[in-house]
Amino acid sequence: MTGVVGGVAVAAVEQVAGTGAAGVAIGWLGAVVGVILLPMATQLGLLVGSVVFGLRVRHVIFGAMREVAAWKLGRVTFTLRSLPVTLRCQIGPWRSPVILRCWLAGLLSALVGVAVVVVGWLLADGPFGRGFVLAVTPLMLYKLWPKRVPLTTSTGWLLFALPRLPDSERAEFVAAPLAARVYEALREGDIERAQVQADELAVRYPGLNATVSCQIAVLESRGEYAPGVMLLLKYLAENDDVPPRKMSYLLAGLAGLGFKAVEAGQLPAETLLPTAKKALNDAIQLGYPEFELSGANGLLALIEGDADNAVRFATTGAEYNHSPLSRADDFATLARAHMACHDNAAARVALAKAEELAPWSPRVAETRQRLSVG
CA distances for 57 relative to 89, 93, 372, angstroms: 7, 9, 38
Write down the pTM of the prediction: 0.89
Span 48-96, pLDDT tens digits: 999 999 999 989 999 988 888 888 888 888 999 888 899 999 888 888 8
Residues 87, 112: Cα–Cα separation, whole Å:
14
DSSP 3-state of 350: helix
Residues 355, 137: Cα–Cα separation, whole Å:
46
Type of residue numbered 18: G
Span 278-330, pLDDT tens digits: 999 999 999 999 988 999 999 999 999 999 999 999 999 998 888 889 999 99
Q: Which residues contact 364 (CB under 8 A, 6 or more apart)?
A: 328, 331, 332, 351, 354, 355, 358
Type of residue numbered 220: E
For CA atoms 210, 215, 221, 224, give the dihedral sign. Answer: negative
Q: Where are the domains of the chain?
A: 2-55+93-164, 289-368
Helix axes 244-263, 294-303, angle to 10 degrees: 30
Q: Which residues of 149-181 are buried (b: 16+ CB within 10 A; e: fewer)?
A: ebeebbbbbbbebbeeeeeeeebbbbbbbbbbb
Three state DSSP letters for 264-300: CCCCCHHHHHHHHHHHHHHHHHCCCCHHHHHHHHHHH
CA distances for 11 relative to 29, 33, 118, 135, 358, angstroms: 11, 16, 22, 12, 52
pLDDT at 263: 96
pLDDT at 306: 96
Type of residue numbered 66: R
Residue 1: pLDDT above 70? no
CA distances for 23 relative to 7, 20, 355, angstroms: 12, 5, 54
Residues 10, 12: Cα–Cα separation, whole Å:
5
Residues 105, 42: Cα–Cα separation, whole Å:
10
Instruction: Quickly count: other Cβ atoms within 10 Å of residue 207's Cβ.
Output: 11
Architecture of the domain whose range is 289-368: Alpha Horseshoe (1.25)
CA angle 157, 72, 253 (to 5 degrees): 50
Span 320-365, pLDDT tens digits: 888 889 999 999 999 999 999 999 999 999 999 999 999 999 999 9
CA angle 282, 284, 285 (to 5 degrees): 60
